Amino acid sequence: MKYEELKALRQEGVELGKKGLFQDAQIKLYKAFNSSEDFTEFHLEVGLELVCVYRRMESYSAALDLIDYIAGYDFDSGYYVSLAYLDRALIEYRQRDYEKAIDTIQEAESLYDGSFPISKYWYLAIVKGRVHYKHGDLKEGIKCFSHALELCDLYQDKRQLQQTYDNLGEVFIASGDIEKGVALTQKALAISKEASDFFWQALNLQTLMYASFKRGDLNAAKNYASECLKIAYENEYRDVVRDVCYQIGRYYKDHGQQDVAEVFFKKASNADGRLSAEFLSELDIDIINSRGTSLGEA
C-alpha cells in the first residue's frame, strides 16, 4: 500500500478507537501495521496504537506479543521501546501486579533521554501516578499527577488535561480530601462533555460515584452509577460496567451487607459477556432496590 493510503487507514482506526469501536479499530490498525514495514517509524507508531486497542479490548496476550515485537525492533532510539514498556506496565497494573508494573516503569523511564515530546513525559507521569496510587502510595500518586498537571499547562492539550483532572480527583477522594477531588472531577467531566468523549464521561461519572460512596450519599451514588452505566452500555465499555458493579459490591461488603454485595459481584462477573439491554435493565433495578439499604443501618 502507498504511504498516503496507510495514513488514511491508520486515521480511520484511531477514530474508531476514540468512539469505543475497538473491534473495528483493531481491523483497520492491524491492516495498516501489517502493510507498513517499509516505513519504520510509522510502522512502530501504528504498532503502539494497536497495543492500546488490544489493551482496551483486554486482549492482553496479543498486546504483550506486540510489545515484545516493538521492544526487539532494531531502531536507533529508545523512544518506541519506552512507550511499549509503559503499555506493558498498564497491563501489569490491570492484572494487579503492581510491583512488576513499578519495575517496568523504571525500565521505561531509564530510556527517556530528554529529547522526547512533553506529551510523552506527561504520559509517563500519568502511568506512574496510576500504578503508585493503586499500589497504595497515595502521596506518590498525588505527586505524579500534580506533575502531569504542570506538564498540561506547558502542552495545552485539553484531552490530557481532562484525564489528569480525573486521575488527580480520584486520588484526592481516596486520601479523604473529597471536596477537592470532586471539584477536579467536575472539571474533567465538563471537558469530556464538551469534547463528546463518552469513554471519559463514563470514567468521570464513576469517580463521582466513588466520591458519593465515600460521603455516604447513596442516592447520589446511585444516580451517578446509572448515568455511567447507560453510557457504558451504549458504547460497549465492558470494563467500565464491571468496575462499577465491583465498586458497588465492595461498598456494601465493607458495610456488612454481604447479600447485597453478592448481587453486584455477580453482575461484575457477567459483564464480561456482550452487554444486553436486559442486563442493563436488571442492573438498574438492582441499584434502585439497593437504595433502600441505609448506610446508617449497616
pLDDT, tens only, 216-252: 888 899 899 989 988 988 887 877 888 888 888 898 8
What pLDDT score does 56 carry? Answer: 84
Highest mean pLDDT among 15-19, 30-34, 246-250: 30-34
Query: CB-based burial of residue 196 (10 Å sphere; 0-12 exposed, 13-18 middle, 19+ buried)?
Result: exposed
How far, in Å, CA of 198 to CA of 16, rounded? 13
Could you read off the pLDDT of 39-92 as tens digits, one per residue? 989 999 999 999 999 998 889 999 999 999 998 886 667 888 999 999 999 999
Q: What is the percent of the chain where pLDDT is above 90?
A: 53
Non-local (6+) Cβ contacts of 9 within 8 A are: 1, 28, 31, 32
| Average pLDDT of the residues in 96-116 | 90
CA 287/CA 245 separation, integer angstroms: 9
Per-residue pLDDT of 179-206, as tens digits, reads 999 999 999 999 999 988 888 999 999 9
